[in-house]
Chain A
């Protein structure tokens, strides 16, 4: 562990913390800025999008945790490893609403018109930023 230095990796890690928070909190019913449907289509049975939101909570929390760790870790190789972890989690965060679990079928339902596009866009950004983070930390590891 070391003191925080504001370099390009730290800036990317901070961006990933924000993206992870959005993935975790964004789809949560009642509180998220792009929350999933708030009622059950069939009484007592949760909608598909509810489970997507639950899975995204875990995925987003993991991205936040790994990104915060990567800010404090000194070893370049460990940073690369953390970057790979963030990338894998970001890919999962992207696949959960699109392929693995999905959202409700109704074309005009909020989870399809708002939550799905928001999670897709944020997921793609998280993947891109984590790839840049890995490349940057590899470059520094090679230069060291």
Chain B
């Protein structure tokens, strides 16, 4: 009978102890894998906010900075307006490479397309540099009058259409998933926005923006010249007294990193403590178990088993327990955390984007490996102790 068969038999002879040991390792593997997924998804989300915004600087009406960030980060629809002439004041500043404007409108929560309010955004396809780079699938042509470009979280009806205020609009393109609040946005040209605002008005949702739709905008998006310090650009705009709130994309990312930092910090401290606790608990349990089984080990010695074989037996049992627990815990984490990523993202209220399959696979392997290491580590001391003990003393001390 080899060490592996003997280890399996020993473990199955004490099912409750074995289940207890496997549970300890499984809890650790679950927390390691789930924690890594959470951390990576939050980092992906924060990274994508800057990419998704596409602009270095965003200008919104004075006092609307918080609302604008809420649209971007949490997908909370909002609308705010300023005079279009603000663009003429902006373009004179040094360091500006591209400028585009957008106009916002929101739907109500019972819009036919979705069971949540949606941000409607009109953009200028001629000057745009923020929406078109995110187009993942399109019908091949441009975005014509009456057509929409939808975020990844928008549901379509019938033949690739979205229903807004009772009317169906064809979808010209769909954007890729970014994990930001803009995944629940619908984009269109200004002419289409006028139609939608009129429809909303006719359906009893009067839009205050309808009258000023040609003379007003919600935001100005600015791309700085390559190498130009955006800080200087922001300072210029602020010192010139333009009546706007200035949002710098790097500041949003830095703010998110700060918010995430404490959350990820707690998760990491929890993981390290759990890992140490698991090593101690398993170490104590193996030590107690070895003490209880001294007579059994002495009998093995008398039957010709070497000291090395006894140590291998203890390490083998601990490795089997660890392997089972690590695989079980990581598999359960995959089963319960991955499918719920959208729910977790909205519960946390921060941009959240699950990593790629290859990144998930490597995190799975790493979590299983770290959790697996606990068993052999915890059993080393017991294995060394039994390997050094005299057969006679083991037999007399044993139960």
Q: Which residues of A are interface residues toward B (Cβ below 8 A)? A: 8, 37, 39, 41-42, 104-110, 112-114, 116-118, 120-121, 124-125
In whole angstroms, what is the CA distance A56 to B67 when docked?
41
Known interface pairs A37-B115, A42-B112. Does A107 touch B153 (Cβ–Cβ under 8 Å)? yes
Chain B proximity of A126: nearest CB distance (Å): 12
Q: Are B116 and A108 in touch, CB under 8 angstroms?
A: yes
Q: Are A116 and B339 in touch, CB under 8 angstroms?
A: yes
Quick check: is B48 within 8 A (CB to CB) of the other chain? no
Given B15, B114, B339, which contacts A106 in the complex, CB threshold below 8 Å? Answer: B114
Q: Are A106 and B340 in touch, CB under 8 angstroms?
A: no
Chain A proximity of B258: nearest CB distance (Å): 27
Given B114, B156, B339, which contacts A109 in the complex, CB threshold below 8 Å? Answer: B114
Known: A108-B184, A113-B343, A124-B335. 13 other contacts (CB 8 A): A8-B15, A39-B110, A39-B115, A105-B156, A106-B115, A106-B153, A112-B342, A113-B346, A114-B340, A117-B340, A118-B340, A121-B339, A125-B335
Given B112, B183, B335, B336, which contacts A107 in the complex, CB threshold below 8 Å? Answer: B183
Q: Are A121 and B153 in touch, CB under 8 angstroms?
A: no
Interface bin, chain B: 20 to 34
Q: Are A117 and B339 in touch, CB under 8 angstroms?
A: yes
Q: Are B343 and A114 in touch, CB under 8 angstroms?
A: yes
Known interface pairs A108-B153, A108-B342. Does A121 touch B335 (Cβ–Cβ under 8 Å)? yes
The residues of A that contact B116 with a CB separation of less than 8 Å are 108
Quick check: is B152 within 8 A (CB to CB) of the other chain? yes
Q: Are A107 and B152 in touch, CB under 8 angstroms?
A: yes
Q: Are B343 and A121 in touch, CB under 8 angstroms?
A: no
In whole angstroms, what is the CA distance A107 to B352 when docked?
14
Known interface pairs A37-B115, A42-B112. Does A104 touch B339 (Cβ–Cβ under 8 Å)? no
In whole angstroms, what is the CA distance A6 to B116 when docked?
49
The residue in chain A whose Cβ has the minimal distance to the Cβ of B110 is A39
Quick check: is B96 within 8 A (CB to CB) of the other chain? no
In whole angstroms, what is the CA distance A41 to B114 when docked?
8
Quick check: is B44 within 8 A (CB to CB) of the other chain? no
The residues of B that contact A124 with a CB separation of less than 8 Å are 335
Q: Are B155 and A109 in touch, CB under 8 angstroms?
A: yes
The residues of A that contact B157 with a CB separation of less than 8 Å are 41
In whole angstroms, what is the CA distance A112 to B116 when docked?
13
Given A8, A106, A114, which contacts B155 in the complex, CB threshold below 8 Å? Answer: A106
Chain B proximity of A54: nearest CB distance (Å): 20
What are 23 A-B residue pairs whose CB atoms fall within 8 Å in the complex? Answer: A37-B115, A39-B110, A39-B115, A41-B112, A42-B112, A104-B155, A106-B113, A106-B114, A106-B115, A106-B154, A107-B154, A107-B183, A108-B114, A108-B153, A108-B184, A108-B346, A113-B346, A114-B340, A117-B339, A117-B340, A120-B335, A121-B335, A121-B336
In whole angstroms, what is the CA distance A121 to B15 when docked?
26
The residues of B that contact A42 with a CB separation of less than 8 Å are 112
0/1 interface trace, chain B 313-357, chain A, CB 8 Å (1 if under): 000000000000000000000011001101100100000000000
Chain B proximity of A112: nearest CB distance (Å): 7
The residues of A that contact B343 with a CB separation of less than 8 Å are 113-114, 117
0/1 interface trace, chain B 197-238, chain A, CB 8 Å (1 if under): 000000000000000000000000000000000000000000
The residues of B that contact A116 with a CB separation of less than 8 Å are 339
Listed from nearest, the 4 A-B pairs whose CB atoms lie closest are A117-B339, A106-B155, A107-B153, A105-B155
The residues of A that contact B115 with a CB separation of less than 8 Å are 37, 39, 41, 106, 108-110
User: Which residue, A106, A110, A125, has most C-beta atoms of chain B within 10 A?
Assistant: A106
In whole angstroms, what is the CA distance A115 to B116 when docked?
17
